[in-house]
Amino acid sequence: MFKKLNARLLEEKEEIKKALCEAYESMPRPVDYKDKVLKFTHAVEALQNPDVSAEDKNQYLKDIIARIDYDRPPSIRITKENEHLYNVPKKRGARFYHEPFKISISLK
């Protein structure tokens, strides 16, 4: 009787340890914001300094930027039927309306 109870308790203890290990592994890693602020400050200072080479400025930006997404919708041809939608008068020849592009920057 004691052996069965002890075996069941040991199983529960192992399951709890396993769950606890999984919980610790799934926790987000702490972020060193001092380092991030320092990198960002150096990058901004480098961009404002005309004496820094373009290669160095590019490297500073690569250190702080993870991804840049650029999106531009296709151009729209202006016709007599749709010129009022875009506030562009129809003139001779082809006229196009270019919507503003969108840039989203993801920092590291």
Alpha-carbon span 107 to 7, nearest angstrom: 51
pTM recorded for the entire structure: 0.52
Q: Is 9 helix (H, G, I), strand (E, B) or coil?
A: helix
- Domain range annotation of the chain: 2-107
Q: What is the pLDDT of residues 8-61, one digit of tens each?
A: 888 888 999 998 888 888 888 888 888 889 989 989 999 999 999 999 999 999
